[in-house]
Amino acid sequence: MKTAMKHNDMFYLVKAAQKRIEGHAHKTPVMTSRTLSQLTGAEIFLKCENFQRMGAFKFRGAYNAMSRLTADQKSRGVITHSSGNHAQAVALVGRLLGIKTIVVMPDDAPVIKRTATEAYGASVIGYDPGETSREKVSQDLANRHGYTLVPPYDHMDIVAGQGTAALELFDELNSLDSLMVPCGGGGLLSGCAVAARTMAPNCRVIGIEPKSADDAAKSFHSGILHTVTNPPTIADGTRTPSLGKITFPLVLEYVADMKTVSENAIIEAVKFLFYRMKLVVEPSGALGVAALLSGEIKPRGRAGIILSGGNIDGATMKTILDS
Amino acid sequence: MKTAMKHNDMFYLVKAAQKRIEGHAHKTPVMTSRTLSQLTGAEIFLKCENFQRMGAFKFRGAYNAMSRLTADQKSRGVITHSSGNHAQAVALVGRLLGIKTIVVMPDDAPVIKRTATEAYGASVIGYDPGETSREKVSQDLANRHGYTLVPPYDHMDIVAGQGTAALELFDELNSLDSLMVPCGGGGLLSGCAVAARTMAPNCRVIGIEPKSADDAAKSFHSGILHTVTNPPTIADGTRTPSLGKITFPLVLEYVADMKTVSENAIIEAVKFLFYRMKLVVEPSGALGVAALLSGEIKPRGRAGIILSGGNIDGATMKTILDS
């Protein structure tokens, strides 16, 4: 399977996204850890997207996608379906750009996620997940009200926006021998891999997934799209059912490998980041560190890790600190 | 009460300390927060000493004091009394410089503190706090074995080392209108105030203490040294009985004001740093943010805050996340 676009055109979209988000998204810091470097024998660089606005890389894609809407589209508003960081990103960008935002969430979504999304200014619309799907609800509402759909990952503006995380990292560090990126729907992973191809052609970009939600790893290794339903992982940002129509071919073409990590490794990684590095990182954001600490990946030379987000609720953090 | 040394000589000690620790201590990052700035109307800069080696500013003073010992002193070893960050700092510096370290801790000190200090390579010696004092135990051992005593704060090399935290901040930011510094024994506070006097003469340096351990605030406002015994504050780094012979006159001469914050304000500050800024900061380290969020201090212009450390145990963090 080949992607339709040429690489140069793809890379140009990431560069254009970088210009678009400049001054709006944070240029997040890159941190190093003597302990991690000593443990692995490689030089480890952590790109701290937990310090991004609203606490995760998702701001990049949402800002890129929404800032380039036409005035007419902006005036009608946007809609998305997500109960996670993408919802909050769309809500915050909507507030910044004066765009009305609607977020479709299942009726049984945690109250805390609904409240956080509403706090950023979005209107949340619930639906019964036993009766219909989030895609259908949002498409129906989009059709009826003229909202523009801003999907969580399967959209070239989203992919390009997320890729700016890696672009910034390469701008700062020049070369890397490998880059570990968490993978849910594959937006961040494919965007970063596109950026790496131009910025550091010898850099191996490796996607990391929980073992219990390994649809993307299976899809990558087989070349056939696998799906998973409500996987039982603590890494809630990776509970997406599958890679997308856009992200799957990109992952196949640009990503060097996919690795999986156990739930225990994820928990140990969040604890390591908390106790040793004083960083609050959500379970999905700690996948790269989990792969290192568990020995699933043994990097050489200079290795980058994207810490994709830091939005962890108190109950989850308490469970992790207890285990 | 006046300090014996002239200001220029004092400042020179801080500058010399900066050269001595260069390449050994981390140059810690300075972070900003839109939320904090919006809440206060001032521009807020956070100096992240929670990212310092062993997780707190204490590394600076310990390295400065221990690296300038004579070869003979180094070969005999050093001793200190502390069950907190200073103990770990002395232990780590000892390991780095090949100096034997002995830490005197009460028999009832938490096992976790003893273990952490031993993990850095120190020998821990317990004593019965009902029978004797830590000062007496360590002085006796120093006399008997020829150890050099490296006290936690009341020593000019320690004060000068801690002052490099502010020196670095001013090197990076040039001027500030105010600087909020946590106060326990006053080593960090007085060192930072000395640095500020030269680097930013108009900067008001303000010490922050828990209300329930307000000996330094009382001493500052009355000019008479107050002491407190085992104050019931969650900010364990500030449970020192009083300012010292060296730090008290320095605080009187160089510090513009002392403010106190409630236990609840400290807890809210740790939570704010965790949830909003994705930073792990220990209660003592969050005193400056507590003063801002509680309205105890209403800064104008450009305000700096020293986040002094990030060594919080899981049980304390769980209590805070629950409250």
pLDDT at A108 over 90: no
Higher-confidence residue of A22 and A108: namely A22
Which amino acid is it at B183? Answer: C
How far from B156 is each of A199, B3, B9, B89, B153, CA to CA, in Å?
49, 12, 11, 17, 8
Q: Provide long-range contacts, Cβ within 8 A and 24+ apart, for A113-118.
A: A113/A83, A113/A84, A113/A87, A114/A83, A116/A88, A117/A83, A117/A87, A117/A88, A117/A91, A118/A91
Strands B257-261 and A257-261: unpaired
Asked if A322 lies within 8 A of B314 by C-beta distance, the reply is yes
Mean pLDDT, chain B, whole residue set: 95
Determine the pLDDT at residue B2: 60
Instruction: Report the C-alpha gap between B276 and A120 in whole angstroms.
Output: 13
Distances from the Cα of B41 to the Cαs of A92, A96, B38, B144, B303, in angstroms? 21, 19, 5, 57, 10
Strands (E), chain B: 30-32, 43-48, 78-81, 101-106, 123-127, 148-149, 178-182, 204-210, 257-261, 302-307
Please, are residues A66 and A93 in contact by the beta-carbon 8 Å criterion? Answer: yes
Q: Sheet of A123-127: strands edge to edge?
A: A123-127, A101-106, A78-81, A148-149
Tell me which CATH code domain A7-56+155-322 carries.
Answer: 3.40.50.1100
Whether residue A300 is predicted with pLDDT greater than 90 in this model: the reply is: yes
Interface confidence, given as ipTM, is: 0.94
Quote the crossing angle between the two packed helices B7-21 and B187-199, to the nearest 10°. Answer: 110
Tell me how far CA of residue A139 lies from CA of A17, A69, A146, B276, in angstroms.
Answer: 26, 18, 10, 33
B317 touches chain A (CB under 8 A): yes
* Mutual angle of helices B247-254 and B215-222, in 10-degree steps: 60
Contacts of A17 (CB under 8 A, 6+ apart): A60, A64, A157, A160, A161, A163, A164
How confident is the model at residue A82, as a pLDDT? Answer: 86
User: A50 to chain B: which residues are within 8 Å by CB?
Assistant: 278
- Collect all residues of chain B within an 8 Å Cβ-Cβ radius of residue A310: 278
- pLDDT score, position B3: 67
Is A50 at the interface with chain B, CB within 8 A?
A: yes
**Given this model, what pLDDT does residue B230 score?**
84
User: Is the pLDDT score of A4 beyond 80?
Assistant: no
| Residue-wise pLDDT tens digits, B63-85 | 999 999 999 999 999 999 987 89
**How far, in Å, are A60, A157, A175, A205, B298 from residue A251 at the CA level?**
19, 16, 21, 10, 51
- Tell me how far apart the terminal alpha carbons of chain A are, to the nearest angstrom: 42
Q: What is the sign, positive or negative, of the torsion defined by CA atoms of A225, A230, A231, A235?
A: positive
Q: pTM to 2 decimals? A: 0.95
Percent of chain B with pLDDT over 70: 99
* Cβ–Cβ gap B317/A322 under 8 Å: no
Residue A47: which H helix or E strand, with range? strand A43-48
- The CATH number given to B59-149 is 3.40.50.1100
Question: Which pLDDT value is given to residue B49?
Answer: 98
Return the pLDDT at A3. 67
**The pLDDT value given to residue B80:** 96
Look at residue A138 and tell me whether its pLDDT is greater than 60: yes
Q: How far apart are CA A272 and CA A321, in angstroms?
A: 10
Helix (H) or strand (E) holding B89: helix B85-97
pLDDT at B1 over 60: no
Backbone dihedral angles phi then psi of residue B104, each to the nearest 5 degrees: -95, 120
Q: Which two tokens stand for residue B180?
A: 């909020």
Which residues, 6+ apart, have CB-to-CB distance to B291 below 8 Å? B180, B206, B208, B259, B261, B265, B297
Residue B47, strand partner residues: B30, B306
The one-character DSSP state at B260 is: E
What is the end-to-end Cα distance of chain B in Å, rounded?
A: 43
For residues B81 and B207, the answer to whether their CB atoms sit within 8 Å is no
Which of A202, A207, A174, A201 is CA-nearest to residue A300? A202
* Alpha carbon distance A292, A299 (integer Å): 8
Q: What is the residue extent of each domain of chain A?
A: 7-56+155-322, 59-149
DSSP state of A120: T
Are the CB atoms for A40 and A187 separated by under 8 Å?
no
Answer yes or no: same fold for B7-56+155-322 and B59-149. yes
Closest CA to A83 of A49, A66, A107: A107
Compute CA distances A216 → A61, A189, A244, A251, whole Å.
20, 11, 10, 9
Average pLDDT over residues B310-318: 95
Task: Check pLDDT > 90 for residue B116.
Answer: no
pLDDT, mean of residues B297-309: 97
Q: Distance of CA B298 to CAs B132, B141, B285, Å? A: 44, 47, 19
Q: How many CB pairs under 8 A join A and B?
A: 45
Q: What's the token pair of residue B133?
A: 């004092």
A317 Cβ under 8 Å from any chain B Cβ: yes
Q: How confident is the model at residue A1 (pLDDT cuts 50, 70, 90)?
A: low
Which one-letter DSSP state was computed for residue B284?
G
pLDDT for the residue numbered A230:
84
Which ranges of chain A does DSSP label H, i.e. alpha helix? 7-21, 34-40, 58-67, 71-76, 85-97, 111-119, 134-145, 156-173, 187-199, 215-222, 247-254, 263-275, 287-293, 314-322
Collect all residues of chain A within an 8 Å Cβ-Cβ radius of residue B321. Answer: 314, 317-318
Chain A segment 218-277 residues within 8 A of B by beta carbon are: 274-275, 277
Residue given tokens 């009394």 in the structure block: B81
Gap from A312 CA to chain B (nearest CA, Å)? 8
Angle value at C-alpha B81, between B77 and B84, nearest 5 degrees: 115
Question: d(Cα A273, Cα A265) in Å, to the nearest integer?
Answer: 12
- Would you call B285 an interface residue with chain A, using a CB distance cutoff of 8 Å? no
Q: Is A88 on the interface with B (CB under 8 A)?
A: no
Q: Are B162 and B60 in contact (CB under 8 A)?
A: yes
Give A29's contacts in chain B (Cβ within 8 Å): 29, 31
Q: Which two tokens stand for residue A100?
A: 């009305």
| Burial (CB count <10 Å: 0-12, 13-18, 19+), residue A322 | exposed
Residue B305 has pLDDT above 90, yes or no: yes
Band of pLDDT at residue A112, cut at 50, 70 and 90: confident
pLDDT tens for residues B9-39?
A: 999 999 999 999 999 999 999 999 888 999 9
